[in-house]
Chain A
């Protein structure tokens, strides 16, 4: 077993007598190693296939055959392609011309939405904003209490007119939250929602209802960095359902390679904006595409 793609490719190339030129067979062998590395990093198979095709194309070109060390050159190409996909144009949060700016959080169960609401609240407050968190998960046991605790930790107001645990209508809470924020002079509203699977039509419809009620400036899709091949289906389902304008990758403090970043970006084109890196409210950062590329490749 080779730990890194770098090791794997060095091994492929060490078998070659002439290092100056890559034959088609060399390129195929290289492609196989890249494929394995990406799959082990949980990049979704269709994305791996598309990615390999473009790397193969470039590897046949002059830049590799002229290189002194083709292995390093191929790795450089792979890395560049990854950063290209992951980075694209990085952008900041869009703020509304007329406050409040509304940020809606959506994603699978347990992805890290409620924690992120607290993190965003704290982060926005530190930047001079006056954020308010809205408790629209009225389903999961004590999601409202959790948001209240997190809001308190962040020193941010929480709008939670309904107790939750099955009581209250999230769409009307969402609707009323905006008036409330205006009255209380909050310039940013972060709406926490219940977790839902991509194939739960009813719950996706509810998310759409919340969205239409608050007219968000940003819809952030929160996804767990440990997710595997399903990232692609889920990202597509959320894109086609509630829709999203940006991605937040959570639990990056673990050791999952996080290939989902590539999958989600590839299938939806939406930028990855933030990285969530722990359970505490400060464990939060803007997304760094280069770091992510190295991480996916295990370098």
Chain B
């Protein structure tokens, strides 16, 4: 027999669900309050109805109307520049490789620039990805200035007349001022050639409340235009992106679903919400 009445336990379950998906206290409280009002108006009676209402509310919170296409074509006759940034180990290099694969599959010509000159074997890793997906990689000498490698990659992309140049950057914690300045410089030096079409912030789905601060600080040095949520194939739900999207005012554009070359997909708010509310 299904319950006819919602009780406080139902509300608590719902709140717990959101908190355990990393939606965060403030966003959860806000969403639950909205929902209480709506459910009163609509006379929601069963936990199932409530869950559906919540799903709609979450999709709404993710602004489904936003344009989520990756700007991989430019209108200025030069290649579009896509730069990939984020804290350590989130999946930037892998995302470059997977994105290159998608772009090539769509008939684009692509070049990648290995502007992570710091981390052990980072350029080799990007090179391996390049070989996997059939894309050339521009790299500089070890410990080279990342901005100059990025500059060279863009220059080469222009002279080869490719459609897109993907720039992989080193992972850096947003708390490291020197490294954040360095990233700002990479952006400015590229801009001497031409504007950057897309700067993607790569966020790991396991990230908790720190994700919002990361997003805030990265936007202070580069102009973030989209978020990539990686590692959604694991048990983490990635609920922090709700606050991150709100904070940045830019959409999540892509999701990483594994380590293989085809494990990149467009972000679909409804699908994401279903995953977030699913048990386990």
Contacts and interface: CB of A to CB of B under 8 A. Distances in A.
Q: Which 5 A-B pairs have the closest CB atoms?
A: A228-B208, A110-B89, A42-B208, A197-B234, A149-B120
B210 A255 contact: yes
A197 B174 contact: no
Nearest to A254: B173
B34 interface: no
Interface of B: 16, 19-22, 24-25, 87-91, 93, 97, 118-121, 124-125, 127-129, 132, 173-176, 204-211, 213, 231, 233-237, 240, 259
A36 B25 contact: yes
Given A142-B127, A226-B210, 11 more contacts: A40-B24, A150-B120, A197-B235, A199-B234, A226-B204, A227-B236, A228-B22, A228-B211, A251-B87, A251-B88, A255-B210
A233 interface: yes
Contacts of B206: 108, 224, 226-228, 230-231, 234
Interface in A79-115: 108-112, 114
A2 B132 CA distance: 50
B259 A228 contact: no
Contacts of A114: 120
Majority-rule SS of B interface residues: loop
A201 to B, nearest CB: 12
A36 B118 CA distance: 38
Contacts of B235: 197-199, 230, 233-234, 237
A133 to B, nearest CB: 12
Q: How large is the interface on A (under 10, 10 to 19, 20 to 34, 35 or more residues)?
A: 35 or more
22 contacts: A41-B209, A42-B209, A45-B16, A45-B19, A45-B20, A109-B91, A112-B88, A141-B93, A141-B132, A142-B128, A149-B121, A165-B128, A197-B234, A198-B235, A199-B234, A229-B19, A229-B20, A230-B235, A234-B236, A254-B87, A255-B174, A279-B118
Contact of B234 (A39, A112, A198, A254): A198
Contacts of B208: 42, 226-229, 256, 259-260
